[in-house]
Amino acid sequence: MGRIVVISTGGTIASRWMGSGFAAEADGREVMATAPLPEGVSVEVVDLFSVNSPRLTTAHQLTLLRTVHEVLADPGVDGIVVTHGTDTLEESAFLVDLHHHDARSVVFTGSQLPMGSAEGDGPGNLYDALLTAATTRGLGVLITFAGRVHAARGTVKTQAVALDAFADPSKELLGKVGFGKVAVLRGPQRPAPLPLPAMPELPPRVDMVMHHADGDPVLLNAAVEAGAKGIVLVGTGAGNATPEIVDAVAAAVARGVLVALTTRVAAGPVTEIYTHGGAVDLVAAGAVPTGTLRAGQARIAVLSALLASPEPAERARVLHEVLGAAGSVLIDA
């Protein structure tokens, strides 16, 4: 069915017991040796890095993004599979998706159980990812896990240790894998892709601050003073906080900081319902509501907007586009 390039970045799927816990140590060829290949698929491996995904940096993720583009510059490649740790997989997949302008699929996968585990999920997930990469087109970046296919946008890790680890709590399932076939159930909604960003010498700092009972602006202000160029405010409910935090958001925006507003609630959109510090006031102060994107992916959206332009107004415009306020297109499966 095609020539697939597997980009190996580490994670549990490449982990071994290290005496006190598991850590990513195996290279991509060792990972590939654990899984059968779908009929007609040939594989080439790129060993990019091997780390536990909580240790990933923006520099790692931008390196991965550029590597994906370099691999797809070869017209003989039919698709890409990225093996990745599950903790930050949703962030890396969304970053690649925001800049993905190719019909060929880039499919992220990993595992919840380490290499060599009895009943381990890595080999099955890898097989399904290879099949998905070889047989789908025009769907953007995908996450294949536990027999399910998810759009990168909106999909988050919803289970800490269970094998069916990923879902988009606000949307229907994109597809399923079974009996050697991939069934696509809907088309993903994606904004127009962004150009590939330059590799900055020092990536912009983007922090996340969560609101809670007794929450005050101390951490948000500290992020600004620490040099944050972007902040994701994780509000309560439909995206709410306090009048004091509204004032802090307005001050940050006045200093050129790009502020996005999401919610700590698992599903549903940020919505302008409440005043007295709610989303009505936060948006009026300059915060950009992120719809159904949650904190990790909202941070990636802010990062991409910051990398797109040095001008605050243009960064805000790009963030609105990335979030689907403009330029959204529905890609038919």
Q: Which residues are catalytic?
A: 12
Give whole-number Cα distances, 312 to 170, 248, 319, 325, in Å: 30, 17, 11, 17
CA distance 100 to 246: 35
CA 43 to chain centre: 24
Give whole-number Cα distances, 199 to 9, 51, 56, 308, 323, in Å: 19, 21, 16, 11, 23
Residues 6+ apart with CB under 8 A from 103: 137, 138
Phi-psi region of 227 (alpha: psi -120 to 50; beta: other; left: phi over 0): left
According to DSSP H, which parts of the chain are helical?
A: 28-32, 58-72, 89-98, 122-135, 218-225, 243-254, 279-284, 295-308, 312-322
Query: What DSSP designation does 6 have?
Result: E
